[in-house]
Amino acid sequence: MAVKVGVLALQGDVSEHIAAFQQALRSAGEADTGVVPVRRAADIPLLDALAIPGGESTTISRLIDKNAMRSPIERFEGGIFATCAGMVLLAGTVDDPRVSPLALMDMSVARNAFGRQRESFEASVRIRGLAEPFHAVFIRAPVVTATGPRAEPLAAVDAGIVAVRQGLHMAFSFHPELSGDIRLHRMFLDGLRR
């Protein structure tokens, strides 16, 4: 049965996530037709996986509530793949009171931990489960300051934890969809099939 992946299409790099998941599914010999933008709360329960892209976390938080998506996302039984602002939204606690996190992962996150846009950078990051380092693109990125017992850190840099897995969910400080490397998308999809 084909995996249906939705990309939350409220703000952020939606098309890049769609393209990366399509490529990941094709590379696994699966149909890539089940990757869709999600703009309605009613679409969420029909998915196997949901990507929450980067963007502006306070804006995405407000748009989730405005579009009545908070409860469907909180009750979602599939896996969630979250990048940058998406990581902030999955956290249990966030250092910014303007963000209302979904509290789906046992972690605390510092929003914009690496500074402003001009402090964005790229780095080679070792990630548990990958044989070779991953070329990570950090754009006004958050960092995980603490994890609870249910969350498994997968990667860290000097500033803190930048990749976490918990059950079917994965969250990244950086933007794997911008790297041209689909190994993390494949790792996430493989985790859905366990």
175 catalytic residue (yes or no): yes
Query: 81 by DSSP, 3-state: which?
Result: strand
pLDDT digits (tens, 9 = 90+) for 18-69: 999 999 999 988 877 789 999 999 999 999 999 999 888 889 999 999 999 9
- CA 130 to CA 47: how far, in whole Å? 26
Cβ(45)–Cβ(15) under 8 Å? no
Q: Both tokens of residue 136? A: 């990570």
Catalytic residue from among 16, 17, 169, 177: 177
pLDDT-based confidence at 176, cuts 50/70/90? very high
Please choose, from the candidates 30, 176, 19, 148, the residue with its C-alpha nearest in 3D space to the C-alpha of residue 90.
Answer: 148
Average the pLDDT over 147-165 and give the result. 96
> In the prediction, which pLDDT does 116 show?
63
Counting the structural domains of the chain, the total is: 1
- Domain harbouring 29, CATH code: 3.40.50.880
Q: What is the mean pLDDT of the chain?
A: 92
Half-sphere exposure of 174 (CA within 13 A, CB side): 26
Torsion of CA 73, 45, 38, 31, to 10 degrees: 130
Report the alpha-carbon distance of residue 137 to residue 39 in Å, rounded. Answer: 26
Q: How confident is the model at residue 173 (pLDDT cuts 50, 70, 90)?
A: very high
Q: Which domain, by its residues, includes 57?
A: 5-192
Question: Among the options 84, 122, 135, 152, which is catalytic?
Answer: 84
Task: Indicate which residue of 16, 17, 169, 175 is catalytic.
Answer: 175
Helices (H), 46-182: 57-66, 70-75, 85-90
Query: Is the pLDDT reported for residue 1 higher than 60?
Result: no
Query: Looking at residue 120, what is its pLDDT?
Result: 77
